[in-house]
Chains A and B, each alone.
Chain A
């Protein structure tokens, strides 16, 4: 994955203009300006409490931003509820690893497809195809609670796949995985994202895993974007190191 591929932003898929969120006096997120091109893979990084989740919640409709706008495919979608955004192609995986324990893998996956069709049969066909895409075809009728953690995360991806998104937010999808499982899952994601032309934003703490997958990094600290650019360059940026490792580390970097 060369850096060139990451920077040729052909069509703008998602644009955040001066996005901000205040809780009473606390300004959790302050004037964030980021633009995502079609097919880009961006890592959203930052220490705990940097405002990453609050930003994503504002973009994906869980929270109403205090100021600024979100544009999806050029249209202003600020403040739209999550299910309307999902219908327009902006999807996110959910932190809770197994949100629908009582459903089978197929039922859980086909929920995504139901956003585009009233018929359950059609949705289950789309779900079937999504599961095959993620290599989970044989787990079709297994209740979610009997799957292992990797399979559960793959079902999350399958559900999003069935919703035919254009922009995908992976919210700490790698959490709780062993390194071998992590790289296996990353391969699956990049394989699927490549074929479907998804624009992927990966929200994680682990810089190592993200570096491997994302061409571009956006780093936040105390509610603001402090760095946004190609992965290698951002990794060596002083401000990023200060934010992550504290100033005294700088001389060893």
Chain B
């Protein structure tokens, strides 16, 4: 992966975010949708690092998303602590949690790691309810930048978009460093990577920590947009799966994956929910069908599928330069 290619992709990502910004200015409903898309894009960018680049399939990003949302809201209610600090504390707590989970579970094989990460948010949800934190309402202080609260959703979009852009450039930068090369080698074949001098457990942990930071930042901002914290929303398996869905549709292991995925999935979801409100569950059903298709064909997500589709279409219509046949579906490593 040449260096320039990845930075160019990050720039395209920023162009998309600016486009999103334009759309966000048209109405409050659009601003809120754009903010949601940017937040989920940030969450997806985290998942993309650990499971898109480095390989171990993490199904527990909700643990960090939920923990930061919870801490920033609780500290705001109990000690009137500004959410900026609350989110920072949430990020630190998530990092500690990620180190503990990582060291304990990254040694296990793919299936067991996925299972362990799936179980942890469920435990956190039950414990939160056990200590009687069922619903935490975010205090209302009107328009106050100090408390990260605004009448319009636009400022939330700007914050989330800036963080997402930073995540994109960081992903692009990663591709040009040793860590990025190691991530990809581990994803391709962990045992061969270990035999080639790569400390696989340590680098899987680094990927997991980076993902935890991004997931907790996303959870922190989401907490300001959402009005009420409930353990069901914060720690539900669907939260982790949404991150996976976005990256797989946008393209796992690519810089642009999270942005494209979020730009497609979130607006499409809200539109189907809006126009088919009498058919509850239709939007998630559509996601699942797309995810099923993507899981079969390629790890790079929907995008290459479309590219191949247009290619074959071009050939069928008798374009002069027939392309080389598409790459054969690769056999996964053991």
A residues sitting closer than 8 Å to B (CB atoms) are: 60, 62, 81-84, 86-87, 91-92, 94, 96, 99-103, 107, 110-112, 114-115, 118-120, 123, 145, 159, 163
Contacts and interface: CB of A to CB of B under 8 A. Distances in A.
Interface stretch (B87-95, B127-135, B190-198): B190-198
B1 to A, nearest CB: 8
B178 A120 contact: yes
A111 B197 contact: yes
A102 B184 contact: yes
A60 B328 CA distance: 34
A62 B191 contact: yes
18 contacts: A83-B197, A86-B195, A86-B196, A94-B192, A96-B189, A99-B189, A99-B333, A102-B330, A103-B185, A103-B188, A111-B182, A111-B196, A114-B182, A114-B198, A115-B197, A120-B181, A145-B330, A159-B196
B178 A118 contact: yes
Given A118-B178, A120-B176, A99 B192 contact: yes
B195 A92 contact: yes
A32 B185 CA distance: 33
B199 interface: yes
A62 B190 CA distance: 12
A186 B199 CA distance: 30
B327 interface: yes
A84 B194 CA distance: 9
B145 to A, nearest CB: 40
Nearest to A141: B2
Interface in B307-334: 327-328, 330, 333-334
A114 B327 CA distance: 29
Given A83-B194, A114-B197, A163-B196, A96 B182 contact: no
A115 B178 CA distance: 9
Nearest to A112: B196
B178 A123 contact: yes
A50 to B, nearest CB: 22
Given A100-B192, A111-B185, A145-B327, A83 B178 contact: no
Contact of A163 (B182, B184, B197, B333): B197
B191 A87 contact: no
Interface in B1-48: 1
Contacts, number: 85
A100 B327 CA distance: 15
B117 interface: no
A121 to B, nearest CB: 9
A107 B181 contact: yes
A111 B191 CA distance: 14
B84 to A, nearest CB: 34
A49 to B, nearest CB: 20
A123 B200 CA distance: 18
B189 A114 contact: no
Contacts of A110: 181
A96 B191 CA distance: 10
B298 to A, nearest CB: 11
B177 interface: yes
Nearest to A115: B197
Contacts of B189: 94, 96, 99-100
Contact of A100 (B177, B185, B194, B328): B185
Contacts of A100: 184-185, 188-189, 192
A110 B200 CA distance: 17
A114 B181 contact: yes
Given A96-B189, A100-B189, A101-B330, A82 B195 contact: yes
Given A102-B184, A111-B185, A159-B196, 11 more contacts: A81-B199, A82-B194, A84-B199, A94-B191, A96-B189, A96-B333, A96-B334, A99-B333, A111-B182, A111-B193, A114-B181
Contacts of B178: 114, 118-120, 123
B329 to A, nearest CB: 11
B176 to A, nearest CB: 6
Contacts of A86: 195-197
B274 to A, nearest CB: 39
